[in-house]
């Protein structure tokens, strides 16, 4: 299964937020975009969706920025990907011209089972499994948050 660019950016934004140093660090969509080498517009759209899902929140103003919520800190990678990808099936059988095999085809069920197995595998991991001190170094941050010392 291939994830959309939107989901990729959402995951990278979550990973970036996971290594934030808390309230003393202002993290904006512009900063995330620069650090993960992506378009600010697309990062902002992904952050908006993550906010709608309750995984991130933002604070306006001079000291404002984007931060992970408790739900975002504890969500599995599978939950994040499901939220960003939506409930779409791997293959769409009913388009403009429905597939003539739709009534007897087993492919759709096989692909749905594979998609479920994919998500179940992703459910084994959280954001803290995706980031470590090297993530901090690659993002050129000066210090890692406390939880990383337990992960290495």
- Position 140 scores a pLDDT of 64
Q: Per the domain annotation, does 148 fall within a domain?
A: no
What average pLDDT does the structure give for the chain? 85
51 or 141, which is more confident?
51
Of 17, 21, 133, which Cα lies nearest the Cα of 29? 17
Task: Give 67's strand partners.
Answer: 57
Taking the mean position of all CA atoms in its chain, how far away is CA 119?
13
User: How far does Cα 135 stand from its chain's mean position?
Assistant: 15
pLDDT of 16 strictly over 60: yes
* Torsion-angle region of 132 (φ positive above 0: left; ψ -120 to 50: alpha; else: beta): beta
Chain-centroid distance of CA 1 in Å reads 15
pLDDT at 106: 86
- Is 152 a residue whose pLDDT tops 50? no
This prediction has a pTM of: 0.82
Residue at 114 is within a domain: yes
Asked whether residue 39 is domain-assigned, the answer is yes
pLDDT confidence of residue 94? 66
Domain of 45?
5-140
pLDDT tens for each residue of 39-92 = 999 999 999 999 999 999 988 887 788 999 999 999 999 999 999 998 787 877
Is residue 145 one of the residues assigned to a domain?
no
Tally of domains in the chain = 1
Q: What is the CATH number of the domain that holds 61?
A: 1.10.10.10
Decide if 149 is inside a domain.
no
Give 66's strand partners: 58
Answer for the pair 16, 32: CB distance below 8 angstroms, yes or no: yes
Q: 15 or 103: which carries more pLDDT confidence? A: 15
The pLDDT of residue 11:
95
71 occurs within a structural domain: yes
Residues 71/124, Cβ–Cβ less than 8 Å: no
Helix (H) or strand (E) holding 59: strand 56-59
Give per-residue pLDDT as tens, 99-113: 777 778 888 889 889
Q: What is the pLDDT of residue 81?
A: 96
SS3 label, residue 96: coil
> 114 pLDDT band (50/70/90 cuts)?
very high
């Amino acid at each position: 299964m291939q994830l959309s660019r939107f989901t990729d950016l959402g995951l990278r934004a979550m990973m970036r937020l996971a290594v934030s140093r808390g309230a003393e660090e202002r993290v904006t969509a512009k900063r995330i975009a620069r650090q993960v080498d992506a378009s600010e517009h697309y990062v902002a759209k992904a952050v908006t969706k993550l906010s709608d899902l309750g995984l991130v929140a933002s604070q306006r103003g001079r000291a404002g920025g984007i931060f992970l919520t408790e739900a975002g800190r504890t969500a599995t990678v599978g939950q994040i990907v499901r939220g960003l990808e939506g409930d779409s099936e791997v293959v769409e059988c009913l388009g403009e011209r429905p597939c003539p095999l739709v009534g007897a085809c087993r492919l759709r069920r096989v692909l749905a089972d594979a998609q479920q197995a994919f998500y179940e595998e992703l459910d084994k991991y959280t954001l803290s499994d995706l980031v470590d001190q090297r993530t901090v170094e690659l993002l050129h941050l000066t210090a890692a948050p406390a939880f990383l010392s337990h992960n290495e």
